[in-house]
Amino acid sequence: MLTKSAVVVSWTLLGTAWSHAVMTTPEPRGIGSAQEAVCGAAVTDRLDDDKAGPIENSVAVIDDDYHCNLFLCRGYQFEDNTQNILSLAGGDVLDIHIDIIAGHKPGYANISVVDAMTNQIIGEPLKVWDDFLSSDPSVPDDERDFNITIPQDLPTDCAEAGNCVIQWYWYATGNKQTYISCLDFEVTL
């Protein structure tokens, strides 16, 4: 987890927001009281004001109440999202939609199964875009609507919801901004 001072220093070097995107299908993790308790009201309010905005916009308002990791599921907490748990099995195909509101800056993106305790990718990414949004303003269909196949060999920890997430991650290199959406799931092994 980044320290408060490291995050604030990083933000001051980045500049302003130029892009916006968020996963909308299936319904990703969202804000709630558990998130506000660990990330603080200022960060939560900024995230709530711009659900498709970059993480770095929230970094600008970090205060003494910040004790979360914005770079894992935007700081959104499992406890606030137990109504949206997907039950999946290895081999299942999951359709994803990314709402690209403004893709002014290209970068790279991936969607991966992530260990929610360590924020580390499990296995290989499920889909990778080395040159995400380079053809803006006409966004290729496979950057907006795509599907992923759930791996057959996920760790047994992923059988319990909250231990693993499916995380979509886009880093816009032109403006150095990060966009993240997460899905909670449990896998039947």
Asked if residues 94 and 23 have their Cβ atoms less than 8 Å apart, the reply is: no
Residue 101 has what pLDDT?
78
Q: Could you please state the CATH topology (level 3) that the domain comprising 20-188 is classified under.
A: Coagulation Factor XIII; Chain A, domain 1 (2.70.50)
Residue 4 has what pLDDT?
45
Domain boundaries of the chain, sorted by first residue: 20-188
* Helix, strand, coil percent content, the chain, rounded in steps of 5: 25, 35, 40
Residue 20 has what pLDDT?
82
- Segments in the chain below pLDDT 50: 1-18
Residue 19 has what pLDDT?
58
The model carries a pTM of 0.86
